[in-house]
């Protein structure tokens, strides 16, 4: 036999032995505190998966666990001899490649264990555990577990007494998921909701979709009677408007780009003129009568009187809606306002009014879609800066007054750090950008970094949900919406073959 044939036979034998030993590695788990465990398993036919559920059968009975780390490792287990002593024996170290991992015990006796046999949980085991341990509060049926087909997953509605951060890249399904959450909150809880809607995505929230069952559609119609949408282009009663006199002095100054020190004469003049409580800047000019040229020119040059947002009739101030107990969910269609100034003005005025009304301690969920536009980390003007300021205050202190935030954005870094870091709930959809993912891993330390790291693999509608909302950091798939999606649909037939 040639040396080459010899070598290849040795290699084949080495591989065969290695495979046999690798396959024989039992999936065994150990825990020294009964809460966290580590395990080793064969890579051949590996059935455990990151974020998935596992049954650990060992001392003290069976436990349910969740895998939070899973990686490949090399284990050296002695050496393999080939050839005879006469031919010159060859020793090769036997390097096994195995799976190693770690996880947490979700259910079972809280005692240490060693060498518990680990196997993937079957769907029913997970379903039964979720049902048995569900809190006695309202449960929000938002979809199912991503890794256990057919197992529904419900959020603990009580978790919305913490701020919630929802993020994912464009198209990951944030607005859709937000719709599912709002539907469930409206159906299952009594929490009041105010939605700042920069893209007009929730203007059809009150309407059931065509494809839902008639009974479900009817139930939604009834529940949605408390949903009020305010839009700039709506008929008089539903029009989105503001009164100049309702704005606080700093808001008026921000709109007029007045600095209380640098522009002290105009600032003081405005304060004096406001004693007449003019509804619009036109009234301001008319009623105050004797405005100085500078202030009049400023109002004219900034086109403030021409803004369409001013409520000229009795009805129509969105700030009054905030206090109207008949309104269960107020959708403020910022996207219907034609200018950026109006959008920023309304967002600022609403956030200011919510903050200034905090002493009433009426629980309200403040939903901000496209939060990077409403409360940006780097505001471009005084109005945005004030909106960001109010959001930061609500984030830091709002909870004790019943002001809860639900923020949605594509890029977490574009919202101020001290807003994001106040969020104790995370709904993370697909996030491909490595820098965004690293930021999310760092700031949401309550969510396992390994699961946050999976965000780049999520399909549309898949998410990691962690925090008080969820019994455990769960990988989920959002279910179907009952209500219509808003916004203008972009036709997708432009790529049709032959067109």
CA angle centred on 318, ends 314 and 322, rounded to 5°: 115
Q: Which of 10, 460, 468, 484 binds ligand ATP (CB under 6 A)?
A: 460
Among ligand ATP, Mg ion, none, residue 410 binds (CB under 5-8 Å by kind): ligand ATP
Footprint of Mg ion on residues 444-483 (CB under 5 A)? none
- Taking the C-alpha atoms of residue 276 and residue 280, their distance in angstroms, rounded to an integer, is 11
Which residue has the CB atom at the shortest distance from ligand ATP?
A: 461
By CB under 6 A, residue 165 contacts ligand ATP? no
Tell me the two tokens of residue 79.
Answer: 């050496």
Q: Where are the alpha helices (DSSP H) in 381-448?
A: 382-397, 417-420, 434-443
Q: Which stretch binds Mg ion (CB under 5 A): 8-16, 175-183, 256-264, 279-287?
A: 175-183
Residue 175 as a binder of Mg ion (CB under 5 A): the answer is yes
Distance separating alpha carbons of residues 495 and 499, to the nearest angstrom: 7
Assess 129 for contact with ligand ATP (CB under 6 A): no
Residue 301 within binding range of ligand ATP, rule CB under 6 A = no
CB within 8 Å of 60: residues ≥ 6 apart: 108, 109, 111, 113
Residues binding Mg ion: what is the number (CB under 5 A)?
Answer: 2
CA distances from 252 to 110, 312, 392 (A): 60, 17, 20
461 binds ligand ATP (CB under 6 A): yes
CB of 429 to ligand ATP, least distance (A): 6
Q: According to the binding rule CB under 6 A, does residue 432 interact with ligand ATP?
A: no
Q: Which of 120, 168, 208, 398 binds ligand ATP (CB under 6 A)?
A: 168
Cβ proximity of 177 and 166 under 8 Å = yes
**DSSP three-state, residue 168:** coil
Q: Which of 55, 48, 60 is nearest to 113 (CA)?
A: 60
Q: Which stretch binds Mg ion (CB under 5 A): 80-88, 152-160, 174-182, 373-381?
A: 174-182
Measured from the CB atom, the residue of 103 and 173 that comes closer to Mg ion is: 173
From Mg ion, ligand ATP, none, interface partner of 176 (C-beta below 5 to 8 A by class): ligand ATP
- Least distance to ligand ATP from the beta carbon of 214, Å? 21
Is residue 280 part of the contact set for ligand ATP (CB under 6 A)?
no
Residue nearest to Mg ion as judged by C-beta position: 175
Residue 156: CB atoms within 10 Å: 19
| Binding residue for ligand ATP, selected from 27, 65, 159, 173, defined by CB under 6 A | 173
Task: Based on the shown chain and the rule CB under 6 A, indicate whether residue 52 belongs to the binding site for ligand ATP.
Answer: no
Tell me the CA distances in angstroms from 86 to 12, 114, 288, 393, one per residue in order: 21, 45, 113, 83
Using rule CB under 5 A, residue 410 touches Mg ion: no
381 vs 485 by CB, closer to ligand ATP: 485
CB of 175 to Mg ion, least distance (A): 3
For the CA atoms of the chain, what is the radius of gyration? Answer: 30
- 14 vs 176 by CB, closer to ligand ATP: 176
What does the H/E/C string look like for 225-287?
HHEEEEECCCCHHHECEECHHHCCHHHHHHHCCCCCCCCHHHHHHHHHHHHHCCCCHHHHHHH
Residue 52 DSSP SS3: coil
**Token output for 337:** 């306002």
Please identify which residue in 170, 214, 301, 488 interacts with ligand ATP, judged by CB under 6 A.
170
Identify residues 318-337 at the interface with Mg ion (CB under 5 A). Answer: none
Which residues in 110-204 belong to E strands, given as ranges? Answer: 113-120, 139-145, 152-156, 163-167, 192-196
Q: Minimum distance between the CB of residue 62 and Mg ion, rounded to whole angstroms?
A: 43
Q: Which residues bind ligand ATP (CB under 6 A)?
A: 168, 170-176, 410, 460-461, 478, 485
Q: Which residues bind Mg ion (CB under 5 A)?
A: 174-175
């Amino acid at each position: 036999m040639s040396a080459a044939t010899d070598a290849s036979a040795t290699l084949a034998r080495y591989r065969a032995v290695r495979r046999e030993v690798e396959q024989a590695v039992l999936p065994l788990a150990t825990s020294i505190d009964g809460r966290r465990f580590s395990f080793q398993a064969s890579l051949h036919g590996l059935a455990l998966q990151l974020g998935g559920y596992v049954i650990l059968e060992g001392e003290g009975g069976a436990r349910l666990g969740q895998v939070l780390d899973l990686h490949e490792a090399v284990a050296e287990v002695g050496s393999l001899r080939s050839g005879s002593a006469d031919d010159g024996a060859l020793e090769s170290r036997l390097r096994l490649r195995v799976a190693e991992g770690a996880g947490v015990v979700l259910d079972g006796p809280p005692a240490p264990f060693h060498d518990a046999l680990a196997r993937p949980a079957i769907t029913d085991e997970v379903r039964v555990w979720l049902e048995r341990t569900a809190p006695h509060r309202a449960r929000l049926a938002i979809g199912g577990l991503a890794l256990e087909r057919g197992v529904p997953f419900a959020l603990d509605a009580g978790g919305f007494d913490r701020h919630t951060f929802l993020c994912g890249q464009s198209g990951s399904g944030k607005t859709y998921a937000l719709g599912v959450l709002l539907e469930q909150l409206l159906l299952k809880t009594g929490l009041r909701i105010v939605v700042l809607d920069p893209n007009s995505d929730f203007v059809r929230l009150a309407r059931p979709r065509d494809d839902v069952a008639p009974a479900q559609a009817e139930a939604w119609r009834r529940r949605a009677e408390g949903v009020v949408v305010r839009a700039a282009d709506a008929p008089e009663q539903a029009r989105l408007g503001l009164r100049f006199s309702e704005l606080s002095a700093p808001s008026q100054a921000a709109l007029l780009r007045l600095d209380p020190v640098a522009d002290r004469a105009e600032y003081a003049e405005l304060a004096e003129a406001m004693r007449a409580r003019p509804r619009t800047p036109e009234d301001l000019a008319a009623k105050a009568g004797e405005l100085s040229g500078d202030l009049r020119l400023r109002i004219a040059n900034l086109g403030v009187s021409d803004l369409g947002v001013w409520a000229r009739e009795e009805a129509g101030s969105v700030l009054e809606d905030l206090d109207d107990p008949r309104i269960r969910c107020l959708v403020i269609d910022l996207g219907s306002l034609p200018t950026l100034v109006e959008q920023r003005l309304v967002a600022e005025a609403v956030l200011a009014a919510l903050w200034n009304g905090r002493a009433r301690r009426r629980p309200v969920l403040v939903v901000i879609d496209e939060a990077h536009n409403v409360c940006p980390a780097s505001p471009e003007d005084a109005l945005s800066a004030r909106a960001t300021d109010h959001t930061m205050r609500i984030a830091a202190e709002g909870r004790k007054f019943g002001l809860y935030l639900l923020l949605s954005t594509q890029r977490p870094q574009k919202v101020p750090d001290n807003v994001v870091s106040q969020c104790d709930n995370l709904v993370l959809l697909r996030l491909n950008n490595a820098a965004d993912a690293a930021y999310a891993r760092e700031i949401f330390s309550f969510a396992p970094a390994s699961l946050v790291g999976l965000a780049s693999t999520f399909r549309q509608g898949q998410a990691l949900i962690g925090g008080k909302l969820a019994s455990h950091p769960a990988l989920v798939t959002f279910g179907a919406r009952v209500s219509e999606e808003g916004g203008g649909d972009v036709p997708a037939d432009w790529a049709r073959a032959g067109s």
